[in-house]
Chain A
Amino acid sequence: MICIPSEEFPFRLIFDSFFYEDVLKNALRNTPSNPPWTSKLTVINDRAKGCSRNFNTISQYIFDKIIEKDSVPRNRLRAMFMPVDEHTIEQIEDEIERTIKHAINLASLYKPHKALIMTSNETRAKYESNNHFKSSHLVLIASGEECLALIDFFYKKVERA
């Protein structure tokens, strides 16, 4: 029997550059995981029921910056994250506001109708003090170790035995 587990997760994930640069890279260096965190992200993104390959989202601007700065192969990065490019939102220069508005937009338009922002501990307060974040019931936030615990939890739901 073929076994490709999938799971309907309670909220979509949206990542910012602080997650990528601080949380993810530090975890890869200092908190070994089997499989590695990058592979767990890929598997979660792939097996999210109803939004396969579109579950882990990131601003198109950040996506392109990572490719430009770090030379990560586009297909590899795309396996982990779907770039969201809602044009009006992408014009917002402030990354915090841009990420919140992407999260609200995704949660408003598509199932699951909740989104969770993944960021660093140092950046979390900037989100929590933002009026757009405070006024939305659709958007949640996790930071630092919480993000890793959540990735682990989601991965265990969809890992193949």
Chain B
Amino acid sequence: MVISMNDTIVKDVILASDFKDFILSNITEIEMDLELKNDVLKYADNTLLEVTKGIGSLRIIDVKAIDDELVNDVLGTSR
């Protein structure tokens, strides 16, 4: 099962032990956009690593195409 994380899931639930159990029994991949990942991984790292040890195949991937948005932000082409 692949799960896409949004702000609510990550910020409110990721540190909860029942969510860890849920991951251990159900999740093979987590999809997370780059911006969100940058903001949350720092404090979520330990939990994610702990979970990963449990299932051995957890993978985080970047799903949103924010690369282009970031370029447009800097060049002002999005405005």
A residues within 8 Å of B by Cβ? 1-4, 24-25, 28-29, 35-36, 38-39, 42, 46, 52-53, 70-73, 75-77, 79-80
Contact = CB atoms under 8 A, between A and B. Distances in A.
B13 interface: no
A27 B73 CA distance: 14
Nearest to A77: B73
Contact of A76 (B35, B56, B68, B79): B35
B5 interface: no
A24 B73 CA distance: 12
Given A2-B52, A46-B38, A75-B39, A38 B70 contact: yes
Given A38-B70, A70-B76, A76-B73, A4 B34 contact: no
B34 A39 contact: yes
Given A1-B56, A35-B67, A42-B34, A52 B73 contact: no
Interface string B6-41: 000000000000000000000000000011011101
Nearest to B57: A1
B38 A2 contact: no
